[in-house]
Amino acid sequence: MIRGRGRPPQEVLSAPSDHGLMPMGLRASKSEAKLLRLREVSHGPEGNRWLQHDPRGGVHMGNSRVLLSSALSMFVLLAGASLFLLSKDSLDEGDSSSGLMLDPLIQDDGHDHRNASQHILYTDNIIPVSFNELTAPGNAEVQVAESPDGNTYAYIAGWSEMHIVDVTNPENTTVTGVYYDPNTQVLDVKYLVYNNREYVIVQNQLVDPGAADPNVGEWEDPAQVTVTLVDVTDKTDPGWAGSWYDADHPSGPHNLYTHMIDGEWYIFVANPDYEACDIGQGDACGGITIAHLNFDVAPDEDPRIIKVGEAEVSWETTRGGWIYIHDMTVQTWPSNDVNDPRHGKTYVYGAYWEAGLRIFDVSDVPHPTNSPIEYAFIAGGCVSTLGTQIGCQWRAPEVGLWMDFEDFDGDGEPDSGTTGNENGGRASYIHYAEPIDEMVDARHIGYPEGEMHMTYIATEVLETTVGTGMSYLLDTTPYELVNGNIRFLPRLIHGWEIPFADHHFIPGGEEWLLFSPHNADHNIFSTGSSDRPDNSHGGSWDGRIYLSSYHSGLWVIDIESLMVAGLENGNKSDAHGGATIGYHLPHGADGAPLDSSYYDFGWTPFLWAAEYHEGYTYLSCITTGLYIVQLDLDAPYGKIPIG
């Protein structure tokens, strides 16, 4: 049930004064007066349309941040095939010019969300590099990785297929192989290497019962809801290497993560369903399954997936409401400080919907080398009972939480289903969680001495009366020791929402999720050299978040700007605009509805994921294919220069 209360009070989150224009986060030189160009192109091949908006002729914002100024005037020309947004060069020589960012979220009467030509919307600092339609629509998570063969590949999950795409040259990509999965929807993919053999882990989830293969069995059949190991060493002929079914979670997994702990690979599986799960007997309902990927087998045998335990939210610390694990990231504590009690330990950062961020310690997971007796006992019990609680009882302890969501209605309570102003989960449906890879020194922007650890979390919003969905940058450095046990004490640095969010809503019905955030990636960049100057607030590093939002496209967010805003306690909408580096709505082909009971939209774009890799951002669009784009600030970090 949606209990939204309409627009938040202006003093809580004020809207920009000019609907459709917003201060933008990159600084352009005076000579770069053209801010944004939107061009309708002649109707050539669909795959070329996206590249015809003249990627190299637009504004490259250079190496400094963009400030917006009232000194600019804007002209909108709508004539024939082109629309131009121009600014007046009115500043003195040597001064910084500034630009206005156009609202790319379109909800006008007559707008067609499936028409690519109506979505040629982007900031000129993010240029298109290539577009690959793959072999079929229905694309989901993407992971990019270097292979022992010397090439770079993207692995893209999608409904009944997993694509392998050679992206060694991002401007010229090729589908090298396709793994067909005859079961239910494949929504996630994770890559790993062991002894020069390459594998991906994919999952099958019961999203659409009708998608099950009748040659395999009924849709309730365990074969339809497995975790599957695929050997991708031969990129032209990926092959099945093993499957694993968890009887404790009969509807199948939604997300996966792989992580090595003391030389052994483990798989972490998000199970977002409580059906046929009994909390009373200790089931980790809607929780995280932990399995060991055992490569200690005979040379002619495939590795085995063995469940060894689970992780679940501490129910007594929640406020109730809609609670389940949706996504998670696993990370070994990145600091080299041996005096930090977290040194060398491994944690799961889980997105637990209205239970917020939950952190679990999996350092002492049953391990064949570290704890061989415990491992044999627990693994044997899990195998013999198909992963049920009868014989599979190891639990990772919860060691931290955060659920101080935005208070849009100003009632002193975080907005959520149990505290009021739920509004489709705009503030509280925490769907994605990712710890920042590196600790950073932020003394140059006013933070205390010492390295900081941060975590980025984002919502997924179903429908709203106003807004598109919050994300939050958290400081996950603080901790306390309670009876010798570590407890994280996360605190908010600053939130972020699309700067135009206060002028939009998510209608629900066939347009549910419309402008919602989905998945994200990030990178910390070393700066200070002549070819890699600092582009943010000084210091020796820059940090950027690459957020995919379904029909809102890619949004790039500056981490340091959010950190500065967290110290200033100023206007939140201004902070959202100031931290926005740019956006890009990929539009290579018209969208077509999928044969899916849930994801039947045909929108373009309809982004599932954004993945940063060595200077480029890879965008998986559910309805059209794989896009590669490049932010101008990322170009010095790429292997292959464009041009």
Exposure on the CB side of residue 525, measured as CA atoms within 13 A: 29
What single DSSP character describes residue 614?
A: T
- Total of domains in the chain: 1
Quote the CA–CA distance of 624 and 627 in Å, as a whole number: 9
| 165 domain-assigned | yes
Confirm whether 191 is domain-assigned. Answer: yes
The DSSP symbol for 185 reads: B
Pairing mode, strands 395-396 and 304-311: parallel
Contact 462, 506 (CB under 8 A): yes
Element (H, E) at 380: helix 372-384
Tens of pLDDT along 320-329? 888 888 899 9
Residue indicated by tokens 């060595």: 614
pLDDT for res 79: 27
Copy the structure tokens of residue 643.
């041009």
Whole-number pLDDT of residue 191: 96
Report which of 182, 179, 230, 187 is spatially closest to residue 205, judged by C-alpha positions: 187
- Residue 137 within a domain: no
Give the model's pLDDT for residue 78: 29
- The rounded radius of gyration (Å) of the Cα atoms in the chain is 24
Strands 357-361 and 398-402: antiparallel
Residue 93 lies in a domain: no
Task: Please state the separation of Cα 161 from the chain's center in Å.
Answer: 21
- Residue 537 is classified by DSSP as S
15 secondary structure, DSSP code: P
Structural domain of 205:
150-244
Supply the DSSP string of 476-515, one letter for each residue. Answer: ---EEEETTEEEE--EEEEEE--TTGGG----BTTBTTTT
- Identify which of 549, 562, 588, 546 has the alpha carbon closest to the alpha carbon of residue 44: 588
Q: Strands 255-261, 239-244: parallel, antiparallel or unpaired by DSSP?
A: unpaired
- Residue identified by tokens 């939130």 is 495
Q: Is there a domain that residue 16 lies in?
A: no
Query: For residue 181, what pLDDT is reported?
Result: 76
Is residue 167 one of the residues assigned to a domain? yes
Across the beta sheet with 553-558, the strand order is 121-122, 580-585, 553-558, 541-549, 517-526
φ, ψ dihedrals at 578, nearest 5°: -65, -30
Q: Which residues of the chain have pLDDT under 50?
A: 1-19, 26-49, 54-98, 212-219, 276, 284, 643
Is residue 584 assigned to a domain?
no
Note whether residue 577 is domain-resident.
Answer: no
Q: How many CB atoms lie within 10 A of CB 532?
A: 15
